[in-house]
Each structure stands twice: as structure tokens, then as C-alpha cells.
């Protein structure tokens, strides 16, 4: 449970997606209140101002995955970054956005101007933590492959992971010898998040060996799967089943983050992958969970 709220100041906010991409996703950098420390994979609780008109009580806090490493985007360790999609409700009859049903907190965050004071609490979360990479006593973590599957703003914790492993000049970056594999699903190319950063991370100067960071995009409205249908993240897993299975058998950790609706299709695809190899998926999943190889955070 997060501690009592503390004030954080908005330093900057920028739209992350192209103007013609559907919706609105913003990258928000806030100053870190004194005494608040976080690590990659944790979440921050944000309390929107005002009261709920139905109850007259203060709004409930909303949790957002942190999109920066412990050092923040400025590398000084005194900021925190969030990746926020504006929650809008489109009326199916009129096809127009109904402002009365807008997400209170996401709209507050996506409209903030620099200098705004925001009440935050946390950090919280142990589900999505990275292994202890960069510890010379933990050779396993330094060699372990990491698979990250995200839809939309579920990219937030993985941006933090990848900045730690490929952009920031830390012991973790120097000692990491495993392969990181990111699969990101969005609807259109203009909706890709942080693609320029991931491209930079793949440069030879940022990796310890060629191909150490692999990035696959599933752009559903523009790409087709092998059956000719829309390409989703689970199709990438199916099409790369051999590599996926080998990695999991060899001890890779797999993380999933994004909308709840992504998991049924993914689990179905993995069941087929297991079946094709004469394995029972439910037993495999139990083993992955027991070994700490399976991490899911969906909302």
C-alpha cells in the first residue's frame, strides 16, 4: 500500500504518438519528492485533484507504471517519468467522445502544464522487477534472457528495463550478457511508443554483442499474420515459437504488460506452441511461475 501522498512538480509533458494516430499518449516527467526512491518495474500512485461528484469524496488514486529508470530521464535520480494514455469514451451511436465519461486521472495528467503540482504516493509493486543484473555475485541474472511483451502504454516498465540495460552507463549495462527481446503491439505505425529510443539502443555502441536487443512490432491495422489476419503480439510469439520455447526452456524470464484483453489470445497461442511440442501448457506455466520466469501486470 502506498505511503501518504507527497507533492511532485510537473517538469515537462510531450505527446508521444503521431498526430494522425488514434487517441492521445503523453510522456510526463515530474520532479521526485525527497525520500521517494523507486526501481525499474514499479508503479506510482497519482491522486487527481477534486472530488468524485457521485460520492463527494476525494478521487481514488490511480496506479501508473513508471517509464524511467531509478536515475530518471535526466540521469540525476531526481525525476520520475510516466507514459499515460488519455482515457476517452467514444459513444457507439454518435461515434463522438463523451466528455462526461472521460478518465479523471488520465485526462488530468494529459492536460497538465509544467509547474503543476501533483499528489503522488509509492512506489508500489514487486511483480515486474528486473533480476539483479550488475551484481558480480549473480552470474545467472547477468546472463539471463529477458522477453518483454507489451501492448500500448504497457511499454512503460520495458522502456525503463531497456534504458537500464542499453542506454545508461552503469554496471548493469556493462555486465549484462543475455539477450533482451521486446514485442510491442500497437494499432498503427504512428502509435509506436519510444521507437526512436529502441533504435538507438540497438546501435553497436549500446549493446555488448550484435543482436543483443531484438525488437519486434505487431502493428495490427497494417501488418498481417501468416493466416492473413491482423498481426497481434500473440502472432509474433506463435511465429517465433521455436526461439521462444528454447529461451523459456533455458531459463529466460518473460514479462507481459498492457491491457487485460491481451492475455487470453497470448495464453491460447502459448498453449498451441506447447501442444506442438508434445507438452501440456498448464504444467509448463506452473513450472515457469514456480521458477520466477513468468510476470504479468495487466489493467
Q: Binding site for NADP(+): what residues are annotated?
A: 65, 85, 153, 220-221, 230, 258-259, 297
Cβ-defined contacts of 277-284 (< 8 Å, 24+) = 277/245, 284/248
The yes-or-no answer on residue 205 being catalytic is no
234 three-state secondary structure: helix
Catalytic residue among 40, 238, 255, 297: 297
Cell of 123: 512506489
The yes-or-no answer on residue 299 being catalytic is yes
Q: How is 75-93 classified by DSSP, letter by letter? A: SSS-EEEEEEE----B-TT
Closest CA to 198 of 184, 177, 219: 184
CB distance 60 to 110 below 8 Å: no
Q: Which residues are annotated as a binding site?
A: 65, 85, 153, 220-221, 230, 258-259, 297
Cell of 203: 546501435
Cell of 121: 504516493
CB distance 132 to 141 below 8 Å: yes
The yes-or-no answer on residue 257 being catalytic is yes
Catalytic residue among 38, 64, 232, 255: 64
Cβ atoms < 10 Å from Cβ of 227:
9
Catalytic residue among 45, 65, 68, 238: 65
Q: What are the residue numbers of the active site?
A: 64-65, 257, 297, 299
Amino acid at each position: 500500500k502506498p505511503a501518504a501522498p507527497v507533492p511532485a512538480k510537473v517538469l515537462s509533458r510531450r505527446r508521444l504518438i503521431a498526430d494522425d494516430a488514434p487517441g492521445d499518449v503523453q510522456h510526463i516527467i515530474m520532479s521526485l519528492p525527497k525520500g521517494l526512491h523507486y526501481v525499474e518495474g514499479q508503479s506510482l500512485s497519482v491522486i487527481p485533484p477534486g472530488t468524485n461528484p457521485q460520492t463527494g469524496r476525494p478521487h481514488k488514486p490511480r496506479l501508473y507504471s513508471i517509464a524511467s529508470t531509478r536515475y530518471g530521464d535526466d540521469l540525476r535520480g531526481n525525476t520520475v517519468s510516466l507514459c499515460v494514455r488519455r482515457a476517452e469514451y467514444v459513444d457507439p451511436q454518435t461515434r463522438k467522445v463523451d466528455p462526461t465519461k472521460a478518465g479523471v486521472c488520465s485526462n488530468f495528467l494529459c492536460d497538465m502544464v509544467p509547474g503543476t503540482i501533483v499528489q503522488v504516493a509509492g512506489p508500489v509493486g514487486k511483480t515486474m522487477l528486473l533480476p539483479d543484473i550488475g551484481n558480480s555475485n549473480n552470474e545467472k541474472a547477468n546472463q539471463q534472457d529477458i522477453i518483454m511483451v507489451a501492448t500500448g502504454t504497457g511499454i512503460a516498465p520495458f522502456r525503463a528495463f531497456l534504458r537500464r540495460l542499453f542506454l545508461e552507463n552503469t554496471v548493469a549495462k556493462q555486465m549484462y550478457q543475455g539477450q533482451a527481446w521486446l514485442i510491442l503491439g500497437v494499432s498503427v505505425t504512428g502509435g509506436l511508443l519510444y521507437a526512436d529510443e529502441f533504435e538507438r539502443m540497438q546501435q553497436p555502441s549500446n549493446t555488448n554483442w550484435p543482436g543483443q536487443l531484438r525488437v519486434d512490432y505487431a502493428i495490427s491495422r497494417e501488418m498481417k499474420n501468416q493466416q492473413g489476419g491482423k498481426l497481434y503480439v500473440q502472432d509474433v510469439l506463435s511465429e517465433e515459437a521455436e526461439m521462444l520455447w528454447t529461451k523459456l526452456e533455458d531459463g529466460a524470464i518473460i514479462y507481459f504488460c498492457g491491457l487485460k484483453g491481451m492475455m487470453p489470445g497470448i495464453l491460447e497461442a502459448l498453449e498451441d506452441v506447447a501442444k506442438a511440442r508434445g507438452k501440456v501448457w498448464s504444467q509448463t506455466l506452473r513450472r515457469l511461475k514456480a521458477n520466477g520466469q513468468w510476470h504479468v501486470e495487466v489493467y
